Structure formats: structure tokens, C-alpha cells
Amino acid sequence: MSLPVPPTAVDYWDLFSAFFIIGLVAGGIVVSAMVYYAYVNRRKIGRREFKISRAHFRSRARETVILAMISLTILFSLSVLSDRIAANIQTPPETSTSLVINVNAFQWAFQFIYPNNVTVTTDCRIPVNTTVIFNVTSLDVMHDFGLPQFKIKTDAIPGRHNIIWINVPSLEGQNELTYQIKCYELCGIGHTFMMGNLIVMNQTAFDQWLNQTAVSQGLG
Amino acid sequence: MVTSIFFLALAGTIAELVRGQLAFPNGSLLTPGLYEQAVSFHGLIMILWFLSPFGTAFANYFVPTQIGAKDMAFPRLNAMSYWLYVFSGFMLVSTIFLPGGGPQTGWTLYAPLTTTEYMPQPGMTLSVLALGVLAVSITMSSVNFLTTILGTRIKKMRWWKMPAFSWSILFTNFLMLFAFPPLAAGAILLTMDRVFGTVFFSSMLGGALLWTQYFWFFGHPEVYVVVLPALGAIAEIFVTFSKRPLFQKRVFLIEMAAVTVLSVGVWIHHMFMTGIALGVRETFSFTTMAISVPFEGLVIGLVLTLRKSALRITTPMLFAMGALFFVILGGITGVFQASIALDYAYRGTYWVVGHFHYVMVGTTIFGLVAALYYWFPKITGRMYNEKIGKLTFLFSFIGFNVLYFPYFLLQDMPRRIASYAANPEWFPLNLTATVGALIFGPFILISFLNIGHSAFTGAPCEPNPWDAVSTEWTGDYSIPEPDDPEGGIEESENDNEPEKEAQPPPPSIVPSQNQEETASYEEERSTRTYLPVVVAGGVIFFLYGFIMFAPLAIIGLLIMAGAVVKWFHDDYHDKYAEIKQTLKEKWPFETVGKEKLGLWIFLMSEIVLFGCLISGYIYVRLGSSTWPLAAETHNVVIGSLNTVLLLTSSLAMILAVQAAKNNDQLGIKAGILGAFTLGAMFLMIKLSIEWPREIINGFVITGGLAPSTYYMLMGAHAIHVGIGLGGLTYLMAKGFAGKFTPQSHTALELIGLYWAFVDIVWIFLFPLFYLI
């Protein structure tokens, strides 16, 4: 039983591949150059003289500038690409159907408050095929609300509210999907065990669960 | 250096414990509490008490030698800085034995976890104080290095000729000067929160982010503080063993300068997930990417140095090449993290841990171990065991990669967790890493054993066994000068006895001053003193007592005060030594003596410190929705009166300096006395009229952010005024004895300068609190 890969993770792996290929090529060239030069020039005893020629220096300086320009361009485009994805991660789409969940991190669990004030800890249940917006804050120290399989997270800081959102994947024939929630900032000795589950359910099961919990919490 | 290796061993052992714990999903070697202490200690000690001082230890020996200076500019300051470093380290480590233990917060010490509410134990406070003491120690040492490099280079040592290592130390120390005051500021605020009940970090009104701002404004430059000396050493090694000049040295140095400058402008990338405005993060994401361009230039420059070379593959060369490999890998993975989108995935995970271990451990430890092997013959006059050396390289290189490469594959594993039962799929990679650690750790240890053993038994070697061309080996500063193999043992490289390394300058250096230099060398020998260690010990006693047991604090204070008085007393009688030194150290800065240069550099760091404190105040004030009006809380009349007092006092001081230049003894006495009286009045009004008044009105230190910032900044300023008054007392003693002459009034000028600085700070504080 495999979990569907959420859209944010797909974006992540695409971007990662772009960085990885560029990094591999650049790193590969430099490392092989180092190894190659070291190999062909190795000597038992070396007696070659030092020579510094200014002409040599100048021409190389031009190449350095060109190289710097090229790398700056590559880096700039990578940066623009990332910024677009980042902007997407933190700006939720303007739809009326999205579900806003307030997340309160505290030592050492996450608390989820639904729009009808139903409050649960540890397990966060969400319906399929919706947009869920997490409005994250902390009640005590700094935490970090992370959804590792979605490849996104945000800091939970006392006094501040940070937003991330997800498009909930479809069930793909399964009954429920369980993704992990973890804290990614050291928050005291309970940090190790500060985790939870993000449980995706079909819409009817979710509505039923929400109503039942509301009743049991006296919210009618 | 021995001390820093000791700290390495300690932190390394802790690291092995951490790895041992994580080898299996349900590690039970340590309890979570102990585990979090272990990761905190490991981070703090490795980065702050090992990596940076280790580079500095080399610098202490080789910077003066490379630039042809006799010794560091201020040997006693050097010793002071060393002892503060040692004692602060012990103070930090000792907290583990105190009730409640040490910090369990990671080396980043994120507030509000570090406030008393969540970490009530005294060990936490002491750790923060240890950081503060370390910051002081580092500031002293960077003042010293900058003065040494800027002010006491030999005449023939022109800027472009200065070896790459000395350059790297110059940049490093500039960075330290800017990076450590924010840490000190953070430590001051946190201490006040913990001890006096201020609310900088515990208040919801923006306090939590304040710490991360301070910390990373320090923390990111600190990475370069750690890496640059290693890069400098690698450059020296590449040059020596390739028999080629450094590829485009000027470009290389300019790139290094670019890295230095850019590194203070990238810190927000540690805070991408804190919800700072996207535009700000995009800017910092780009500067972070941009810093990799000069860095890439540095790497390519080093690689191209090997082109057409005649390369001798020795142990130092191998370690240096290994370090370069790790720079490349660590650097490239760093670019991944510069991307905000990717950072959404990496924040707080083992990917990050992998990245910075490649940079910090890979580059720095391999680079500095390379440096240790490389300079070993110079330090001891003996040769290490080459076979064992190469073998240790091979195994530590393999071990390192087995240890840290899996971290890049553990992309979802959170940092600083003591077990991972919920994710059994992480087990094989963690086990691999632990195996790597069991290879890497022992072989690094063998490296040091090899060095330590050879220091006593190695075959004696010639003064320049590598046939190197840089000045510390040849002793040739472009003018003929005999080689001087130094016979000092390794410990003498420590700052505690820098005098030992000082050698009589060869006769060929500036012949006209020869006699005088030899004479002052003799004098310097006599300046060897136990005072710095006593002062440093006093400081530590005081801080322990302050937190744990009050009488101890009084003892500490007495020791400290006694030693400081003795120190000044020495200076009082040794005036003649000082005259000569100021005359001698004139070359590069024609008109500025080294003391004055040092003080200016120190004031620079003070400016950064007050800048940080004041911007912290502005930050929380802007972040708060309500703030009491100045007129309601502070009395403008008293404030204005104090402003006038302090300014007049400065004027009196200037008159005293003028009088000294004109040899007007009465003027000197009147000036100093006036300055002192006015300054003392300022402090009296502040402490006995203004503060009690405000406290009666309910404006108490624990009453929220407004009084917190007020008492913090006023207190910091008042302490500076107090120190200034101490200096003025000394001047009075000396002035009334008629010891200031037009030729000799350095102390007067220096303290005058300091006094003026204290006034200028007040000019900023006055409107910020009393008028706005």
C-alpha cells in the first residue's frame, strides 16, 4: 500500500532534479579537474620554477569574470524558479471550499482547531480533494510544523501566524491515507516524540467524524 | 592549540555517543534529556571552542612570522584572551554536572526555549554567560590580530605580497569583529531575561524572532570565520607542494574579500521558514546564491594552481585536497538550501546536518589537520611519520564520507531527535553513518597521536623541508635574513606564553632601530605575567558566584579588581617601555600608534554591539502595538541635565589632552578632575535620583518590554561610564604625579577616546528614550 505522492512533493523533486543535475555537472568538472591535474602532475621531487607573468594574469582575469557571470546567471534563474514555487507554497488559492485549520504547537504535540471549533490533538483528519490551509502558531516555544511527505513545513513561533496549504491527494482506491506530521525544531526533551498523523478520509466519513466529535465536545 | 584539541576530543566523544544512540531506531544509550544536552554541547564546543580557536592557534604563531612582526601586537591582551577562552570552555562543560544539567536547546539556543520558564537550571544561565565571556575573548583576539596585521607588518611586506593565510586571518578577524558583538548582545539580553526578569525573549510581542535575528547575524559569518583560515592554509599548502604560485593571487584575495563582505548579508536564509515577508527572503536567497560565485572562484583558483605543476603528494597535500573536495560537495549542497522552495523540505532535517558537516568538519578539520602536518616541521623541527599520515588520510576520508553522505539521503529525518521508532526505514542509513563515525573518529585521533608522538621522537629535519617559498619558512621578507628554525615546543604556540616565540629580530631589519628593538625584546620578556590568568579566573569566579553562590562572586570580584589594579600599577611604573613601542610601530600607519589603532578597532566592535542592542530595542518597539509615551515614564529635565554633564565632561577631557600636548600640568589635572567629577555626577544622578524615581512610579525592570529595553540599554551605558570612570581614576593618579608629558600621554589619549565614545552612545540613547 503506497501513499500517493502529493503535488508539492512532485514540485520538490522536479526542482531538486534541476539543482542536482547542475550541481553534479559543475561539481563533477571541478573534482575531476582536481584529480586529473593531481594525477598527471605528480612528482617524486619537484623542481619547477615559479613564474608570474602579468599578461597571463590579465587574460585569466577576463575568463574569471566571464565564468562568474555565467554562474551568476544560472544561479539567478534557479533562484527565480525556486521563488515562484515558494510563493505558491505559502499563498493559498482563493477558493471558498478550502478548509482552514488552526494549528497550535505546544510542548509536545500539535493541536488542530477546525472551523466549527472542534479541537483535536496529534491526529489531523482532512477530507479528500480539497484545499487545506494550515494557520500555524505556537503556544510556548519555537516548533516547526512539518509534513515530510509533502516536502513542506513552517515554523511555529509564539505570537506569529504562518500559513502553508496543501491540495489533498485523492485516495486512489484506499480507505484512508496516513501521512506523517513531525516537529522540525528542537523544542525541549519531548522533541523526539512530537509527531502526529495527517489522515485523509473520503468526504462522507470526514463529515461524520467531524459531527460526532463536535457532539462529544459539546459543540452540538 | 592543545586546548582546542582537547575540546575537539571532548566534543568528538560526545558526537560518537550521539551516533551510537542513533545507530538503532530505539537507541537507549542516552535519555532524551541527556541526548539533547549532548547535541547542544557537541555543537557549541565543536564550533565555538574548537574550530575557531584551532585556526586562531595557527594564526597566533604564523601570522606574526609570515608578516615579519616580532610577536602579536599586544602579548598580554593575547594571554588574557586565551585564558578567558579556556575558562569559558570549562565553565560551559561544568554545567553538565550542575543540578538540572546544561542546555538542552541545541547550539542555536533558540529563545524562548532558553528562558527560565522552560530551562530553569542554573547551567543554562552559566552557558549563556560562557558564550558572553567567549565573545569578549574573541573580540580581544580580533583587536589584537587586526592591529598586528594592519599595524606591525614589516616594511617590506606589501599588501599583495602578504601570504594567503595571513590574508585569510585578516578577513576572519574582520568578520569576528562584526559577528561576535551580536552574539554578545543576544547573550546580554538572555542573561538579563534569566537573571533580572526582563522579557525580551519571553514576551509574545516579537521577542522570539529577535533571538534568531541576533543569533544568525552572528551565526552565518561564524561559518566563514571557521572556514576561511582553513582555506588560507589550504592555499599555502597547494602553493608549496605544487611548486606553482597561487593561481591569480589577487583575484583569489578579492574573491575572499567578496565572500567576507557578502557573508554578513545572508543570515536570513537560516530563517526562511519563520514567516518573514517573501520579498525579504527572496533577496537573501539571491545573496546566498551569489556568495557561491566568489567561493566557486576560490575553489577553481586552487584547482588551477595544480595545472602544469610539479606536485608532491604528501600527507598535508592529501588532507588539503580532501578538504577541497568537501568544500565542493558542501558548497553545492549549500546552493540547494539557498532555494526557498527546497528549504521548505530541508529545514531542520539531516540534509542540513549533512551539508554543514561537509563544510565545517570536512573543510575545516581536514584543512586544519593538513595545516598541522604542514607546519609541524616548522613548529617542532621534527618530521612526522609520513606512512601513518597517508594511511590516516585514506581512512578518515573514507570514514568521513561513510559517515556524512547518508545524511543527504535522510532528507526527511528531523534533527536532534533521540530515536526514530516511527520510521524504521531510516535504520540502515543511520547504521551506516555510525559505522562511518567509528572509522572517522579513531583515525582523526590517530592523526593527532602521530603528531603528538612525532613531536618528541620524530627525526629532526631541516628548517625548510618542503622547499617552500613563503616567508614563514624562508624568513626572507625580500631582504636577506638568516633562516631561523624555531625550537619551541607545541605548547609555546599557545597564547599563554607568546613571549617565548618572540625572537630577537635579525640585524638586517631596519638597522637604525636595531639596538632599540633588541632592548625592547628584553623588556618584553619581563612583561611575562600571571595577571591575565588571574583576571580571567576572577571573571569566572564572579560569574559562577553570581548565579550559584553569592560569596564566591565577591571573591571573584576582589580577585579581578586586584589584578586589574596591579595591571595598571605595572603600566604606571613601566611607562618607559610604552614610549619605545609607540615610536617603533610606526611604519604603516605613520601617525597612529598601535595602541590607538587597537582601541579604534575595539571601538568598532563596541559600535556594532551598541548597534545591535539599539536595533533590538527598535525592533521590539516597532513590533509592539502599544508603548508608553516617553513623557510619562522618563523625566526629560533629568535626561537633559545628564546630557549636558556628559558632554561637558567630554570637553574637559579634550582640554586635558590638549594640555598634555602643551605640557600644561595644571591643565591636565584640571581637565581630568573635571571630566571625572562630571562623569561621576552623571552616574550618581542616574543611579540615585532617576532610577529610584522611576521605580517608585512603577517603571520596574520586570514590567514588560519598555522598561526591559530602557534598563538594558541604560545599564549597558552606565557600565561603560563606570569603566570610563575607572580609567579616569587611573589618569588622575598618574596626572597628579605629573607623569604626563607632551611625548608620553598615550593613556590619556586612549581613555579620552573611549570617554568620547561613551558620550556619543549617550547622544543616540537620549532622544531614543527621552524624546521619542
Cα distances (Å, whole numbers) of residue A145 to A89, A130, A137, A163: 14, 20, 9, 10
Share of chain B above pLDDT 70, in %: 78
Nearest to A153 among B203, B273, B304 (CB): B273
In sequence order, the β-bridge partners of residue A153 are A146
Residue contact B245–A189, C-beta within 8 A: no
Q: Is the pLDDT of residue B502 over 50?
A: no
- pLDDT computed for residue B527 by the predictor: 43
Q: Could you say which DSSP state residue B73 is in? A: S
Tell me, what's the ipTM? 0.88
- CA triple B496-B500-B502, angle to 5 deg: 115
**Mean of the pLDDT values across residues A6-19?**
88
| B714-734 residue pLDDT tens | 888 888 888 888 888 878 777
Gap from B202 CA to chain A (nearest CA, Å): 9
Q: Is the pLDDT of residue A2 over 90?
A: no
- pLDDT computed for residue B33 by the predictor: 72
Assigned fold of B2-526: Cytochrome C Oxidase; Chain A (1.20.210)
- pLDDT computed for residue B522 by the predictor: 38
Domain that holds residue A128: 99-216
Each domain of chain B, given as residue ranges in start order, spans 2-526, 630-772
Residue contact A71–B104, C-beta within 8 A: no
Q: Is the pLDDT of residue B415 over 60?
A: yes
**Mean of the pLDDT values across residues B232-260?**
83
Q: Is residue A6 part of a domain?
A: no
The Cα–Cα gap between B106 and A95 comes to: 41
Nearest to B342 among A16, A183, A189 (CB): A16
| B330-361 residue pLDDT tens | 888 888 888 888 888 888 888 888 888 888 88
The 10 Å CB-count burial string (b at 16+, else e) for A147-180 is bbbbbbbbbbbbebebbbbbebbeeeeeeebebb
Q: Is residue A34 part of a domain?
A: no
Q: Is residue A5 part of a domain?
A: no
- pLDDT computed for residue A113 by the predictor: 93
Contact B121, B101 (CB under 8 A): yes
Residue contact A186–B106, C-beta within 8 A: yes
Nearest Cα to Cα of residue A118 among A9, A216, A6:
A216
Q: Is the pLDDT of residue B742 over 80?
A: no
Residue contact A186–B321, C-beta within 8 A: no
| A162-192 residue pLDDT tens | 888 888 888 878 888 899 999 988 888 888 8
Quickly count: other Cβ atoms within 10 Å of residue B624's Cβ. Answer: 16
Contact A76, B290 (CB under 8 A): no
In this prediction, residue B11 has a pLDDT band, given cuts at 50, 70 and 90, of: low
Cα B604 to the center of its chain, rounded Å: 14
In this prediction, residue B6 has a pLDDT band, given cuts at 50, 70 and 90, of: low
Lowest-pLDDT range of A80-94, B371-385, B491-505? B491-505
- The pTM assigned to this predicted structure is 0.83
The domain B630-772 is placed in CATH, from the list 3.10.20.340, 3.40.640.10, 1.20.120.80, 3.30.70.980, at 1.20.120.80
The Cα–Cα gap between B22 and B18 comes to: 6
- With beta carbons under 8 A apart, name residues in chain B contacting A89: 341, 344
Nearest to B310 among A48, A152, A153 (CB): A48
At B545 the three-state DSSP class reads helix
| A54-72 residue pLDDT tens | 444 455 667 778 888 888 8
Q: Is residue A33 part of a domain?
A: no
B209 touches chain A (CB under 8 A): yes
Q: Which residue has the higher pLDDT, B106 or B406?
A: B406
Contact B581, B517 (CB under 8 A): no
Lowest-pLDDT range of A100-114, B59-73, B504-518? B504-518
Closest chain A residue to B248, measured at CA:
A57
| B673-697 residue pLDDT tens | 888 888 888 888 888 777 787 777 7
B347 touches chain A (CB under 8 A): yes
Residues of B numbered 26-45 whose beta carbons fall under 8 angstroms of chain A's beta carbons: which are they? Answer: 32-33, 35-36, 39
Q: Which residue has the higher pLDDT, B413 or B573?
A: B413
Quickly count: other Cβ atoms within 10 Å of residue B518's Cβ. Answer: 13
Q: Is the pLDDT of residue A150 over 70?
A: yes
Find the Cα–Cα–Cα–Cα dihedral B596, B598, B599, B601, rounded to 10°: 120
Gap from B8 CA to chain A (nearest CA, Å): 24
- pLDDT computed for residue B532 by the predictor: 59
CB pairs under 8 A between A and B: 250
Residue contact A82–B247, C-beta within 8 A: no
Q: What is the CATH number of the domain that holds A206?
A: 2.60.40.420
- pLDDT computed for residue B489 by the predictor: 29
Closest chain B residue to A57, measured at CA:
B248
Backbone angles phi, psi at B414, to 5 degrees: -70, 150
| B158-210 residue pLDDT tens | 677 778 888 888 888 888 888 888 888 888 888 888 888 777 787 776 567 88
Residue contact A67–B297, C-beta within 8 A: yes
Per-chain mean pLDDT for chain B: 75
Residues of B numbered 254-313 whose beta carbons fall under 8 angstroms of chain A's beta carbons: which are they? Answer: 273-275, 278, 281-282, 285-286, 289-290, 292-294, 296-297, 299-300, 303-304, 306-313
- pLDDT computed for residue B526 by the predictor: 39
The Cα–Cα gap between B321 and B237 comes to: 10
| B643-655 residue pLDDT tens | 888 888 888 888 8
- pLDDT computed for residue B487 by the predictor: 30
Q: Do domains B2-526 and B630-772 have the same CATH topology?
A: no
In this prediction, residue A145 has a pLDDT band, given cuts at 50, 70 and 90, of: very high
Lowest-pLDDT range of A48-57, B49-58, B481-490? B481-490
Nearest to A187 among B113, B285, B300 (CB): B113
